[in-house]
């Protein structure tokens, strides 16, 4: 994928910016990615195809598990997040991303669109 960053802006949930993802495969459509660099998060896109976007994604499309999904930020609440929200409960088991992706692919492959 080749990313073309532009100077075009719009406002999404109160934050501006835009990038366009251009795929190197001719059979894949161009996808608009809207992001902001005004939210400080270290490596916000570390686990996904848009890891090179230099900010927090606010609007984008992605194809996963044979489905095109479109995500839009509708609101953002600035401030610190209580670390206790990320503590795994005693009766829960942590699942590695690869296992989660496999399980999701298995379940979602049973749906017909």
Residue 70 tokens read as 């479109």
Q: Are 45 and 60 in contact (CB under 8 A)?
A: no
Q: How confident is the model at residue 16 (pLDDT cuts 50, 70, 90)?
A: confident
Predicted pLDDT at 38: 92
Instruction: Give rounded-to-5 percent helix, strand, coil for the chain.
Output: 15, 30, 55
Summarize pLDDT for 29-88 with one digit per residue, the tens.
788 889 998 998 899 998 888 888 889 999 998 877 777 889 999 999 988 889 999 888
Predicted pLDDT at 113: 64
Pairwise CA distance, residues 66 & 74, whole Å: 25
Nearest to 54 by CA among 97, 6, 13, 22: 6
Residue 69 CB neighbour total at 10 angstroms:
10
Stated pTM of the model: 0.74
Q: Are 28 and 10 in contact (CB under 8 A)?
A: no
């Amino acid at each position: 994928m080749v990313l073309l960053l532009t100077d075009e802006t719009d406002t999404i949930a109160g934050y501006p910016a835009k990038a366009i993802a251009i795929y190197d495969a001719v059979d894949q459509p161009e996808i608009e990615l809207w992001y902001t660099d005004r939210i400080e998060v270290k490596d916000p896109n570390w686990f996904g195809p848009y890891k090179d976007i230099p900010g927090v994604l606010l609007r984008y499309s992605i194809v996963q598990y044979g489905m095109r999904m479109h995500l839009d930020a509708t609101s953002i609440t600035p401030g610190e997040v209580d670390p206790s929200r990320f503590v795994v409960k005693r009766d829960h088991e942590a699942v590695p991303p690869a296992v989660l992706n496999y399980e999701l692919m298995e379940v979602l492959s049973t749906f017909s669109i």
